[in-house]
Amino acid sequence: MKGVFLDTHVVLWLYAGDVKRLSAKAQHIIDAHAIAVSPAVKLELAYLHEIGRVVDTPELLLSDLYRRIGLTVRREDFDRVVEHAMSLTWTRDVFDRLIVAHAAVDAATLVTKDSQIRAHYENAVW
């Protein structure tokens, strides 16, 4: 496993301490590997905060997870991520496109409960 990225929902569940929502496989992967997120997750968290679905700011949330579990934000060449995201026509969700593209550019595993992502990204696991 080259690297492990987390989808936004997984990040929110970890932040809330709601690990029972994770599959056993997801928990094992998170416990056994260095984990990261795309900056697109940070952007999605900001959007969710702005519309009132998430109380804490992305900065607070991500810095807390860095301290607790070592979660990092990967900063790949954004142009490469966007170029790859443009080919992901199976979804209209720009956040999903960027998150999946970033994992793909890094040849990383993506931990996600999203069945549509799992159906289209071969390195997605739950």
Q: What is the DSSP string of 8-69?
A: HHHHHHHHTT-GGGS-HHHHHHHHHS-EEE-HHHHHHHHHHHHTTS-SS-HHHHHHHHHHHH
Number of domains in the chain: 1
Does the predicted TM-score (pTM) go above 0.75?
yes
- For residue 37, the cross-strand partners are 73
Residue 123 has pLDDT above 90, yes or no: yes
- Res 126: pLDDT: 98
Task: Name beta bridge partners: 35.
Answer: 4
Range of the domain at 59: 4-125
Give tens-digit pLDDT for 37-91.
999 999 999 999 999 999 999 999 999 999 999 999 998 789 999 999 999 999 9
Beta bridge partners of 67: none
CATH of the domain at 59: 3.40.50.1010
Given a cut of 70, whether residue 1 has pLDDT beyond it is no
Give the largest Cα separation in the chain, rounded: 36
Predicted local confidence at residue 77, as pLDDT: 82
pLDDT tens column, 7-44: 999 999 999 999 999 999 999 999 999 999 999 999 99
DSSP classification of residue 125: E
pLDDT value for 75 = 87
Question: Pick from 102, 86, 92, 85: which is nearest to 37 by CA?
Answer: 102
Do the Cβ atoms of 11 and 61 come closer than 8 Å? yes
pLDDT at site 76: 76
